[in-house]
Structure 1
């Protein structure tokens, strides 16, 4: 189905609940459609129109969610992490070619400094806490020069600009069209069987594709509701569940682990507010965590596989009665998903690079011929995107990711999947969290290391953990270093990051 973001909710019941938040009245679908119209008018008054790129720097919450869908009707959105430093704002605003920026009323931080330095139009977003969640007004503090193009969005128009993480190189620009986003929203809504009776509790940051599409856009596509928390706070999650009464939530594995840690003292809330399912994506969910979540909440845990270039979802574990397989990211759930040879442009059976093709997949990185030549190829009449992940399908069509190709540890020619080592370490009774990573070695090239967080009140030392692994792994896969930490460093979206971890932990000198 080819559509725009606003098409997703164009015909839902006027009085249907769309967006909620703590201590706020609900925004209805009629109110959301009205908000879109007012926002486009405000954009045009500020000299911003179709094709112009508008950076959004707002705190997490309902206004961030509605600003995304409303601004995309009249311009191209580019949400940015509010925690960026001045130099980062200057890089991203310049790199994406922003014409304007949306900031909260009263905000005077580094994003404003960068915007003024680059001569961007500044639009101030204001809201009243007594108004429905997500309601806002848009005021032009400064106006862009020229006459804006006043046409509203079409499916082939750009809706969203995001950057890749840039862990090992300069971040790449990922342009996503309305058609990409609406296709992905429908894929997710379909795979989760969402209906107007469903409600998502969103705790994911809304500068990230996971929250924008899986929580917000998929809910709107189904005529369901999304209740937007002001970010993730493990101490408040069960209070939010009580207040929002969701039927599901979506999060990254580190969030699920933090929620599990507080679940025993919140058993009554779990009983009072039963969830239909729990969704996990954006990083590998340890099988042990998946099983503990399902047992604790007495609900299926749906692990999905997504990335920015696919407008989020590629595969998903199915709902019951089909099984949810721990350690697997499920079956194709939207695009075509195949395995390709890692070194040549051909599709294969067995283990190799995961590739995708479909209406949700970006047409290509912006202004980056080298990256597009490396990432896209033609085979069997389709254009395929290389995900950079290694994986394999089982006999029932369930995909298992064996690792990021660039994270596979090469120990003197022996290839080791960090995810395999993670899985073994997570079986240790004292281990709460683990990240296996490459440690540079002068002769072997790379060696296996692991960062471990222990469960509260439990003890284990490096030797004991290595001995546990030695009984379960081939000798060359056993971590040579096990670093015990109170907390493993995380990225902005809560994901654990393997690349560069040796430097972050001070185990090697930075290059």
Structure 2
């Protein structure tokens, strides 16, 4: 059997070599937290694996894991992996019932609230045969919701779980897309995929032995211990990340001296705003990783004010199907935005990470085309959706490429330039506009928080509408004047027929950072603000 290079089992074995190191810190509120050592985590994984085996969970079983507790998510995911079962991660706000019908999971693991929703809304009905509950138990729970799993971190005196070495092609997990650009799809990760993603993340994080990672995205907390870094999981409002009390983020960061901060622009904006209002700084942070959507210069500038000199801010690009792909330093991105190479516009994403290949397919005369990715970070495909998989796969020059749906170019230095989503092109009778080309310039206007270019009308005869979300205290007439100035020399500014103001853009469920342009376009068609 061919071994998986740097597999989960190999990384868990390395974790066991540092039994007294803190693996996960589960937070509750701005200061309360519980540290879990590597020995405790591995002991807990084994105990949960024993309970899963006793409940009838077997190799190959697909098991939904739905809990907001970082330790329980990590321990249950590792325990399932040790049994050869397949964890399934899904947004609790997505089309859960349809997604579960597609996956047909035999096992459902979750906190009591998730099981209440499962029973009330019919999640997994006809498929789930084993229901297991995390968190505190209560009388009658086994009859009402399911058998209780050991949820408290043990003392760590027990042995680690035995994790067999997987085959590269074995299915490791299924993670659903958020559905922000269409129906949620179950993305399959083989063990080789996860190993490739972890290796690429090593290159981005560049962690040291004493690093502490504050992960503001719960699923990433499951990867932190495998990356060999103490992972602090703050109490983020996972149903609405942008509404998380900022003290729940900054408090744990300061308390545990986080050196690496990871989050979406929406969450990083909460941290930057809180620090500005309270006059706080983040002296321990040396690297910030922003993901979910390209980082805008204004947010990078606000973060810089709270960080020590020399701290690095990286904008990381990728998707559920291929993560991560590329990364760029925020300062370099700002300079390139002001002085792009000839023939380039939009937002520079940086060079592909080691082991990742990227190219542009179906390019026009200007080099604009669809960004495609190849390499070990790319998912084998979508679960039970062969037609969807076939639609995003292309073979060129002997390599199988994943079409990302992103439009872009590659410059002479090998850097990727992002011009927006292919599905969001605005096409008029005599023009075609990419969203990022216009928005990257419009977003620099004073008083503008962000903008969104949408097309109103049928493709080929659309009217270009620029939607504007202003800063809270900005005057509308001043913002309009600033927009005129910012777009004065833009070659496509004259194509913008209407400007509409919206107090708050609708965004995706997962990161609260990607703009829901379909809803914006529907409102723009009515000529109304949100």
The within-5 A match list for 1:42-57 is: 42-57=51-66
The structure-2 alpha-carbon separation of the partners of 1:60 and 1:407, relative to structure 1 and needing over 3 Å to count, comes to: farther
Deviations 1:130-168 (CA, angstroms, capped at 9, x unpaired):
xxxxxxx7269xxxxxxxxx9956143212112334456
Q: Report Cα offsets for 1:285-313 as digits up to 9, x if no partner.
A: 12332244234424211111111111x20
Instruction: Specify the alignment match of 1:146 in structure 2.
Output: none
Change (3 A) 1:248 1:107: same
**SS of match in other structure, 1:263:** helix
The Cα offsets for residues 40-82 of structure 1, whole Å up to 9 and x where unpaired, read as 2222112111111111121253322333333333211112223
Cα 1:168–1:21 change in 2 (3 A) is closer
Partner of 2:385: 368
How far did residue 186 of structure 1 move?
1.9
Alpha-carbon distance in structure 1 between the residues aligned to 2:303 and 2:210: 23
Deviation for aligned residue 1:349:
9.9
Q: Contact between 1:196 and 1:225, CA under 8 Å: does it hold in 2?
A: no
Is the 8 Å Cα contact of residues 336 and 358 (structure 1) preserved in structure 2? yes
2:372 is matched with: 355
Q: Distance in 1 between matches of 2:257 and 2:335?
A: 24
Decide which of 108, 112, 124 is 2:119's aligned counterpart.
112
Equivalence for 1:131: none
Choose from 217, 239, 245 the match for 2:257: 245
Evaluate the alpha carbon distance shift between residue 501 and residue 112 of structure 1 in structure 2; reply closer, same or farther with a 3 A threshold: same
Alpha-carbon displacement from aligned partner over 1:345-365 (angstroms, at most 9, x marks no partner): xxx994322111111211222
More divergent stretch after superposition (241-250 vs 283-292): 283-292
Query: Does 2:455 match 1:439?
Result: yes
Secondary structure class of the residue paired with 2:423: helix
Aligned counterpart, 1:93: 100
Q: Tell me: CA distance 1:11–1:205, structure 2 relative to 1, closer, same or farther (3 Å).
A: closer
Q: Structure 1, unaligned stretches of length 5 or more? A: 129-136, 141-149, 207-211
1, 5, 10: which one aligns with 1:2:
5
Deviations 1:309-350 (A, max 9, x none): 11x201122699999966422221144323233279xxx994
- Counterpart of 1:331 in structure 2 is 351
Shift of 1:99: 0.6
Partner of 1:315: 326
**What residue number does 1:188 align with?**
201
SS of residue in 2 equivalent to 1:59: coil
- 1:477, distance to aligned residue in structure 2 (A): 5.5
Distance 2:301 2:136 in 1: 41
CA distance in 2, matches of 1:458, 1:320: 26
8 Å CA contact 2:111, 2:134 repeated in 1: yes
Query: Which is further off, 416-425 or 475-484?
Result: 475-484
1:19 CA displacement: 0.2
Match of 1:39?
A: 48
Q: Does 1:173 align with 2:173?
A: no
Other structure's SS at 2:203 match: helix
| Deviation of 1:384 (Å) | 1.3
Counterpart of 1:302 in structure 2 is 314
Name the TM-score, length of structure 2 as normaliser. 0.80
Q: CA deviation at 1:508?
A: 4.4
1 CA distance for matches of 2:413 and 2:245?
36
Change (3 A) 1:314 1:164: same
Whether the aligned pair in 1 keeps the contact of 2:327 and 2:351 (CA below 8 Å) is yes
> Which residue of structure 1 lines up, in the alignment, with residue 514 of structure 2?
496
- Within the candidate set 206, 220, 225, 2:225 is matched to 220
Tell whether the 8 Å contact from 1:3 to 1:178 is kept in structure 2 after alignment. Answer: no
Are 1:284 and 2:287 matched, yes or no? no
Between the aligned partners of 2:13 and 2:329, the Cα distance in structure 1 is 28
CA separation in 2, counterparts of 1:42 and 1:497?
42
Alignment of 1:104-183 (within 5 A): 104-105=111-112, 108-113=115-120, 114-115=122-123, 117-120=125-128, 121-126=130-135, 138=149, 152=164, 154=166, 155-167=168-180, 169-183=182-196
Aligned pairs for 1:9-48 (under 5 A) are 9-12=12-15, 13-22=18-27, 23-48=32-57
Does the 8 Å contact 1:175/1:364 carry over to 2? yes
SS at match of 2:476: coil
Question: After the TM superposition, which residues 54-69 of structure 1 pair with which residues of structure 2 at under 5 Å, given as runs?
Answer: 54-59=63-68, 61-69=70-78
Is the 1:448–1:481 Cα contact (8 Å) retained in structure 2? yes
Give yes or no for contact 1:452–1:485 (8 Å, CA) kept in 2.
yes
State whether structure 2 residue 231 is matched by structure 1 residue 230: no
For structure 2, list consecutive stretches of 5 or more residues without a partner in the other structure.
138-147, 152-161, 338-346
Q: Is the 2:456–2:525 contact (alpha carbons within 8 Å) kept by the matching residues of 1?
A: no
Specify the SS of the correspondent of 2:192. Answer: helix
Tell me by how many angstroms 1:284 deviates.
1.6
SS of residue in 2 equivalent to 1:26: strand
Question: Aligned partners of 2:114 and 2:188: how far apart in 1?
Answer: 28
Q: Secondary structure at the match of 1:492?
A: coil
Q: What secondary structure does 2:293 align onto? A: coil
Structure-1-length-normalised TM-score: 0.83
Q: Which moved more, 1:191-200 or 1:326-335?
A: 326-335
Using the alignment, how far apart are the partners of 2:107 and 2:502 within structure 1? 42
C-alpha change, 1:83 and 1:245, in structure 2 (3 Å) is same
Matched length:
475
Taking a change above 3 Å as real, the CA distance of residues 395 and 168 of structure 1, as seen in their structure-2 partners, is closer
